[in-house]
Amino acid sequence: MAVSTTNFSLPGATGVYHGKVRDVYSIGDTYLVMVASDRISAFDVILPRPIPYKGQVLNQIAAYFLEATRDIAPNWLISTPDPRVAIGLRCEPVKVEMVIRGYLSGHAWREYKSGKRMICGVAMPDGMRENDKFPEPIITPTTKAAEGHDEDISREEILKQGLVQESDYVIMEHYTRALFARGTEMAAKQGLILVDTKYEFGLYDGKVMLMDEIHTPDSSRYFYADGYAERQEKQEHQKQLSKEFVREWLIENGFMGKDGQQVPQMSDEWIQTISNRYIELFEKVTGNQFTPVNHTEEEILEHIKAGLAAL
């Protein structure tokens, strides 16, 4: 059963926001309930068909890494009463996403290939090839758009526009580098390379707090470590676990989210392939076996209510 959207009546709910992937319910001024749907987005566009088990995969990977990084950065998560549900603190979102890149891949490579050697005010060395490792990870922030495309932005412009106080931004940079280092270590133990990822932060009682998901296939790119060097030497595509394969398929079929472009038809076989790839990533990243759960909306709602009652 794929869940496209939810419309729950929750006790104490004061509002709901349907994001690209999650349905987010506000419970008063203190708590949030995030329900991970099976929607999938690419190029900031929600694709027309949901992906079975994607929401469960995302929610469980995010919870796994949030618990594993509490010693580095405080985070919003309180409990996960259902495989696709997370309950946590309601933070005031910072309108900047902290993207960190260890390798020249994805958007950074597309910019580099076009001739650019600066991204978000950060210099990229000459002579690099796609998927080469940067000398040091670089932070390339984006604005966090409520709708449409996120935009690259430099540290200097963030501070100039007052999007984040400098003292908070320094903390966000520190957390970003430390979280990426931990994610890199955890990935290496599973035979993976954490290529790039993004972190979202908010303020709770004036304190910077990690929000949303981390190190999931929607927010991160992974390569298989085995054979990475050989593939680079031969300039072959890297074997990866991420959502990039969906973006590549869309590009091959003439879609990059630009005006006038139509999302190509997604066959049943392609939907199943995407689902299998998400499950593969869950098992590879966490080292745990994935157990599919097909709860009805009624069951999910009861689990949410029980979780809220326990607060």
Residue 276, domain member (yes or no): no
CATH of the domain at 149: 3.30.470.20
33 and 96 together in one domain: no
Contact assessment for residue 37 and residue 82, using Cβ atoms and an 8 Å cutoff: no
Residue 250, domain member (yes or no): no
Q: Of the candidates 216, 242, 268, which is a domain's last residue? A: 242
Residue 272, domain member (yes or no): no
CA 229 from chain centre, in angstroms, equals 26
68 and 123 together in one domain: no
pLDDT digits (tens, 9 = 90+) for 76-95: 999 999 999 999 999 999 99
104 and 209 together in one domain: yes
Three-state SS letters, 163-199: CCCHHHHHHHHHHHHHHHHHHHHHHHHCCEEEEEEEE
Q: Which amino acid is at 38?
A: D
Within 10 angstroms of residue 12's Cβ, the number of other Cβ atoms is: 13
Q: Of the candidates 187, 209, 242, which is a domain's last residue? A: 242
What is the per-residue pLDDT for 244?
A: 80
The number of domains in the chain is: 2
103 and 214 together in one domain: yes
Q: What is the pTM of this model?
A: 0.88
State which residues form the domain around 222. Answer: 92-242
126 and 187 together in one domain: yes
219 and 117 together in one domain: yes
Residue 268, domain member (yes or no): no
Contact assessment for residue 253 and residue 264, using Cβ atoms and an 8 Å cutoff: yes
Alpha helices in 28-104 (DSSP H): 54-68
114 and 29 together in one domain: no
Scan for tokens 């995010």, then name that residue: 62
47 and 155 together in one domain: no
Cα three-residue angle 89-64-225, rounded to 5 degrees: 135
CA atoms of 36 and 43, how far apart (whole Å):
19
56 and 22 together in one domain: yes
201 and 145 together in one domain: yes
27 and 110 together in one domain: no
What 8-state DSSP symbol labels residue 73?
A: S
pLDDT digits (tens, 9 = 90+) for 251-292: 999 999 898 899 999 999 999 999 998 998 899 999 999 999
Cα three-residue angle 122-221-104, rounded to 5 degrees: 35
151 and 114 together in one domain: yes
Tens digit of pLDDT at every position of the chain (311 positions): 788 889 999 999 999 999 889 999 999 999 999 999 999 998 889 999 999 999 999 999 999 999 999 999 999 999 999 999 999 999 999 999 999 999 999 999 999 999 999 999 999 999 999 999 999 999 999 997 655 567 999 999 999 999 999 999 999 999 999 999 999 999 999 999 999 999 999 999 999 999 989 998 888 999 999 999 999 999 999 998 878 889 899 999 999 989 889 999 999 999 999 999 899 889 999 999 999 999 998 999 999 999 999 99
CATH of the domain at 33: 3.30.200.20
Report the b/e string of 285-305 with b at 16+ CB within 10 A.
bbeeebeeeebeeeebbebbb
